[in-house]
Amino acid sequence: MIQVDNVCKQFRLYRRPVDRVKERLFRRSFHSVHQALDNVSFSVPSGQTLGIIGHNGAGKSTLLKLLNGVLLPDSGRIHAGGRITGLLELGTGFNVDLSGLANIENNGLLIGMSREEVNARREAIIDFSELGDFIHEPLRTYSSGMVMRLGFAIAIHAQPDTFLVDEALAVGDAHFQQKCYRAIRAFREGGGSILLVSHDLNAIKRLSDQALLLDHGRVFELGEPEAVVNSYNFLVAQQGDADVVMRSDSGSEDGTGAHGHQGADYGDGRAQIVALSVAGNDSRGSTVSAGETTRIRVRYQVNQALPELTVGILVRDRFGQDIFGTNTYQLGVTAASGAGEWVLDFTVDMAIAPGRYSLSVALHTEENHLDTCHHWRDLAGGFEVAGVHGPRFTGVCRLPTTVRAIPGNGV
């Protein structure tokens, strides 16, 4: 159980530490002020998870540091029932010259365990870390993954009342990550509260009961994770739009090929891609749920009237694999090809697995771009799929599926 009431935190920024002393002595101001947190309130009941999202510098880390006592608030009250610990402290106080065993004690005591607790849980920690006989070797012989595993094993066995989970959930390999997730879930089922700070919106949606969106130190929204993630995307989209406009402005000067992209960007220039935007029906932003109806809007410019034109899109996953592509020719739609600027909407049921995707756009003739390509642009845009609308699924995509029980086959 955590209760945070009207917490404010200001940082005075001094150019040099000594300015702080000068200020006291001369009674003149030598600082500028950064309001890291402004009147933040929320509560997390026992056994619940609160996801915290926001831009870099929105105040997330400051909030976690206030909660674990590294920083003190200027005003407001923080009431945490019992011990708070988290992955912030992962491996704090490790001495590389000492064995893993000795470091269990160093780190365990530091994050608030008593000596008796350390003794009682030592075996469980060693088991969890899967270090085996390595536990007797000095830490400097460990790989970084092994150190992280030991750190996480200690943290999860500290049995705090509240667990602060930072980005760093990505500990070790996939097998160990799953084990971490299981341990965290078990911790929550045992009545512990979790504060989860992450840029992984999918994790926020999947793991949180509630989500908190911080913007410039203020609570922008607090509520259902789904809605809060959408608000976050809306915030990001507002800023992202500004970027896109700027980019196409600077790009139009020197023609195609110099748009600051890293992917392929070529073509004969008779037609050009101007802009691309992605918006989920519910999210309104470029992060959508799997299965959400999503609008992909292509804005293009035809410089001289063409006899015919095909507009195509291609979705690639983060490994660059083609996931799905389609175009107006395959769909049997005629795209406007007269001189001028045109807009085309593709509406897609985005039933693909959560993750990040890039979008390529192409303007060409007939079915593919191999004969005549007016403009091909990789990384014209991107979007993220987080969370699932409708039934969950395994694999890359959700194919339309029905299930029917056949009667009469029982034993």
Partner 1 sequence: MNPSLVWNFTRQELVDRYAGSSLGFAWAFIQPLVLLFIFVVIFGGIMGARLPGVEGGWAYSIYLVAGMLPWLAFSATLMRTSTVFVDKQGVLSKVGLSLPVLPLFIVIAETVTFAIALGLFALLLVSIDHPWRLQVLALPLVFAVQQALALGLGLLLATLNVFLRDVREFVAVLTQLWFWLTPIVWVPGIVDTGLYSRLYRLNPLLPLTESYHAMFIGEAVLPLKALAGVAALALAALALGWFTVRWLEREIRDTL
Binding mask 56-95 for partner 1 (x = CB under 8 A): ------------xxxxx-x-------------xx--xx-x
Q: How far is the CB of 369 from partner 1 (least distance, A)?
A: 54
Q: Are strands 287-290 and 373-388 parallel, antiparallel or unpaired?
A: parallel
How many Å apart are CA 35 and CA 7, to the nearest integer? 11
Q: Identity (one letter) of the amino acid at 284?
A: R
Q: Is the CB of 97 or the CB of 123 nearer to partner 1?
A: 97
Q: How far is the CB of 282 from partner 1 (least distance, A)?
A: 39
- H-helix segments, 130-224: 144-157, 174-189, 201-207
Question: Both tokens of residue 368?
Answer: 């593919």
Q: Is residue 246 involved in binding partner 1 (CB under 8 A)?
A: no
Q: Is the CB of 87 or the CB of 313 nearer to partner 1?
A: 87
Q: How far is the CB of 184 from partner 1 (least distance, A)?
A: 20
Q: Is residue 411 involved in binding partner 1 (CB under 8 A)?
A: no
Q: Is residue 199 involved in binding partner 1 (CB under 8 A)?
A: no
Which one of the spans 14-22, 123-131, 243-251, 350-358 is the region binding partner 1 (CB under 8 A)?
Answer: 14-22
Torsion over CA of 54, 296, 319 and 371, rounded to 10 degrees? -150
Which one of the spans 17-25, 160-168, 286-294, 361-369 is the region binding partner 1 (CB under 8 A)?
Answer: 17-25
Q: For residue 115, what are the CA distances in angstroms to 93, 122, 124? A: 16, 10, 15
How many Å apart are CA 295 and CA 278, to the nearest integer? 6
Q: Is residue 337 involved in binding partner 1 (CB under 8 A)?
A: no
Q: Is residue 242 involved in binding partner 1 (CB under 8 A)?
A: no
Q: Is residue 318 involved in binding partner 1 (CB under 8 A)?
A: no
Q: Are strands 193-197 and 49-54 parallel, antiparallel or unpaired?
A: parallel
Which one of the spans 102-110, 246-254, 353-361, 375-383 is the region binding partner 1 (CB under 8 A)?
Answer: 102-110
**Residue 263 in 3-state DSSP?**
coil
**Residue 330 in 3-state DSSP?**
helix
Q: Is residue 8 involved in binding partner 1 (CB under 8 A)?
A: no
Closest CA to 128 of 100, 88, 98, 102: 100
Q: Is residue 101 involved in binding partner 1 (CB under 8 A)?
A: no
Q: How far is the CB of 155 from partner 1 (least distance, A)?
A: 12
**Residue 12 in 3-state DSSP?**
strand
Using CB under 8 A, list all residues that contact partner 1. 11-12, 17-18, 20-21, 68-72, 74, 88-89, 92-93, 95, 97-98, 102, 105-106, 109-111, 114-115, 138
